[in-house]
A = this chain, B = another copy of it.
Amino acid sequence: MNYCTRCGAKVELRIPDGDTHLRHVCAQCGEIHYLNPKLVIGCIAEWQGRILLCRRAIEPRHGFWTLPAGFMENGESTAEAAMRETREEACAGVAIEALFALVNIPHISQVHLFYRGRLLDGAFGAGEESLEASLFSEESIPWDALAFRSVALSLRAYFDDRRNGQFGFHENSLLPP
């Protein structure tokens, strides 16, 4: 961050009075610009025992498989974000069941949330940011071609819970690779 979003003057890095963290502060108007973690929200959507994955058509991790997921937008709820991402990336309607996993990734200041859900009618397809979408049984999940560690972690917990007959809520933190 170089310039103030309010007045366009240069910002400087300093700890404001009464604060404990370095912030970008405008040298001209004094505006303090806070940078906060972002929520990435996705869905583990099941249909007849299989899970919906998308193959990424964009960077990072072009060509790798992932759960439909993306940055939460202003003005929506977390469950609405999970439904929107499933519609956008996999052209699928989903009924949300419950929050299943929270994955902290502090070194990139992201918090990933994954909901459990069910496809409404089994229809899906490749959205603009996907090369393809497909349903996978537990045995056919492309573990070595998954795009993100948070996805692999949450899918493993999902299949473990499903095998045990009860879904819990799972919180994890990832360290830098």
Contact = CB atoms under 8 A, between A and B. Distances in A.
Interface of A: 1-11, 18, 20-21, 33-39, 71-80, 88, 98-99, 102, 104, 106-107, 109, 111, 128, 169, 171, 173
Contacts of A73: 21, 36-37
A171 B35 CA distance: 26
A interface majority secondary structure = loop
Contacts of A99: 102, 169, 171
B109 A75 contact: yes
Contacts of A171: 78-79, 98-99
A77 to B, nearest CB: 4
A4 B6 contact: no
Contact of A3 (B7, B39, B102): B7
Q: Which 4 A-B pairs have the closest CB atoms?
A: A3-B8, A77-B104, A74-B109, A1-B5
A6 B3 contact: yes
11 contacts: A2-B8, A3-B6, A4-B5, A20-B88, A36-B38, A37-B73, A75-B106, A76-B106, A77-B104, A78-B171, A79-B171
A11 to B, nearest CB: 8
A5 B6 contact: no
A106 B73 CA distance: 9
A89 to B, nearest CB: 12
